[in-house]
């Protein structure tokens, strides 16, 4: 009997050793499949090539900040051909103007230009010139002097200037200005969402709020002023963008 038991034990050990050398895999999977090397990554997607943003035809009139009912039309404020407006500052009279709502009013405009380069969703802004215009300086304009220039407000990087908010004290002139900025989409396209950027130092009056905007898909590329002693109004010149 002891010999039979010993023989059975040796047989069991042989079976266990054989099983230990086998590999079991789930149904439908061959042994070793889980150890297969992952396929190599495909070629890297190249970064988008940068392009320079600029205006292209057709040009279009946008809204009017203030009014064209007063003052005389003056030469437009524009940026060089390879640049676009990104911000603005305004001269505000130190004294209220008694015959225009007894409010402090805009007497000068400063338009900041910049070179804009876009690569995919990345936008690089290189500020350049500041183009400026002031109202009249004649003797009857003494109430419009002195004035204080506001801090410069700029659209956030990745957005472009598409209009202005302001306040109109009566039929002409304006104050309490804010920039309206819209996001850049794919290179050369302007989105619909609007970010409001107040221009500090342009007053807080709000008896007649107004908004001047560009048509959808375009941005401000220039301002056509009407001016007397102060800046009676600004007509927005707008255009779609190209990215070359």
Which pLDDT belongs to residue 37?
54
User: What is the CATH number that goes with domain 51-243?
Assistant: 2.100.10.20
Choose among 232, 242, 112: nearest CA to 181.
Answer: 112
For residues 192 and 217, give the distance between their C-alpha atoms in angstroms, rounded to a whole number: 7
For residues 198 and 201, give the distance between their C-alpha atoms in angstroms, rounded to a whole number: 9
Which pLDDT belongs to residue 108?
97
Average pLDDT of the chain, as a whole number: 86
Give Dmax over CA atoms of the chain in angstroms: 135
Which pLDDT belongs to residue 17?
42
Choose among 235, 234, 206, 227: nearest CA to 103.
Answer: 206
User: Cβ atoms within 10 A of the Cβ of 102, count?
Assistant: 11
Sequence ranges of the domains in the chain: 2-35, 51-243
Residue 157's pLDDT band, with cuts at 50, 70 and 90, is very high
For the cut 80, the answer to whether the pLDDT of residue 179 exceeds it is yes
Which pLDDT belongs to residue 122?
94
What pTM value is reported for the model? 0.80
Q: Count Cβ neighbours within 10 Å for each residue of 44-70 and write b for 16 or more, e otherwise.
A: eeeeeeeebbbbeeeeeebbbbbbeeb
Are 173 and 232 within 8 A, CB to CB?
yes
Mean pLDDT of 70-87: 94
Which pLDDT belongs to residue 136?
83
Q: Which of 1-10, 133-142, 146-155, 204-213 has the lowest mean pLDDT?
A: 1-10
**Percent residues over pLDDT 90 in the chain:** 73
Residue 55's pLDDT band, with cuts at 50, 70 and 90, is very high
């Amino acid at each position: 009997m002891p010999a039979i038991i010993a023989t059975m034990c040796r047989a069991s050990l042989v079976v266990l050793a054989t099983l230990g050398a086998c590999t079991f895999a789930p149904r439908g999977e061959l042994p070793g499949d889980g150890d297969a090397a992952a396929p190599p990554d495909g070629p890297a997607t190249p970064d988008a090539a940068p392009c320079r943003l600029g205006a292209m035809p057709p040009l279009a009139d946008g809204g009017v900040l203030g009014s064209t009912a007063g003052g005389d039309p003056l030469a437009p404020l524009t940026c060089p051909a390879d640049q676009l407006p990104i911000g603005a500052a305004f001269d505000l009279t130190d004294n209220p103007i008694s015959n225009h709502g007894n409010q402090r009013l805009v007497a000068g405009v400063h338009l900041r230009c910049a070179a804009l380069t876009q690569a995919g969703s990345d936008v690089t802004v290189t500020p350049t010139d500041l183009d400026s215009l002031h109202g009249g300086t004649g003797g009857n304009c003494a109430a419009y002097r002195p004035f204080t220039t506001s801090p410069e407000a700029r659209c956030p990087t990745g957005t472009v200037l598409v209009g202005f908010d302001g306040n109109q004290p009566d039929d002409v002139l304006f104050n309490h200005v804010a920039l309206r900025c819209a996001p850049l989409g794919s290179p050369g396209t302007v989105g619909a969402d609007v970010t409001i950027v107040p221009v500090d130092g342009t007053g807080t009056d709000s008896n007649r709020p107004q908004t001047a905007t560009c048509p959808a898909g375009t941005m401000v590329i220039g301002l056509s002023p009407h001016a007397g002693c102060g800046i009676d109004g600004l007509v927005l010149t707008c255009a779609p963008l190209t990215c070359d």
